[in-house]
Amino acid sequence: MVDDDLIRAANRLFEACRVAGNARVATAESCTGGLISAALTAVPGSSQWFERGFVTYSNAAKTDLLGVPAPLIAKHGAVSEEVAQAMAKGVLAHAPVMAGVAVSGIAGPDGGTPDKPVGLVHIAAARRNGHSVHERHIFPGDRHQVRKAAALTAMALLTRLIGEKP
């Protein structure tokens, strides 16, 4: 569900897009399952800045839609810095945007391991100028709380990246 926190984050992102010369953005979402895209499209006028969203929940979707190499996923796992970075770069390769953000994580309640616990989320954002950033988080709470925290953090990371000077 898109709540006021998510709408405020989307508005901050779109303001950064406006200031950056009406930059357009796209998303690649795994554990958030389209929540970021839903928040962005809940804002009237979002089509001016939001180009598209890829929901790449399965490993095959990450490979098919974003070009993430299957051997990379096999080596590091879908929930990893390497795959999140590849997803963000895949957004740029498959969408005419200035920047994109990617999220891959374990929202729970199951699926966690000692090395990759429930709540672990990797978020990466990339710009056309080659600059990219990555954050690793372990968000507390239930599935809904992890997904919301990941969406908020992803939008904030993309907002900061867009606001940086090239």
Paired strand residues for 54: 28
Note the pLDDT of residue 129. Answer: 87
Note the pLDDT of residue 1. Answer: 79
Domain extents for the chain? 4-163
User: Averaged in consecutive runs of 10 residues, what is the pLDDT profile of the chain (166 residues)?
Assistant: 96 98 97 98 98 98 98 98 98 98 98 97 95 97 98 98 87
- What's the CA gap between 125 and 18, in Å, rounded? 18
Of the candidates 103, 75, 80, 100, the one whose C-alpha atom is nearest the C-alpha of residue 90 is 100
Which overall architecture, per CATH, does domain 4-163 show? Alpha-Beta Complex (3.90)
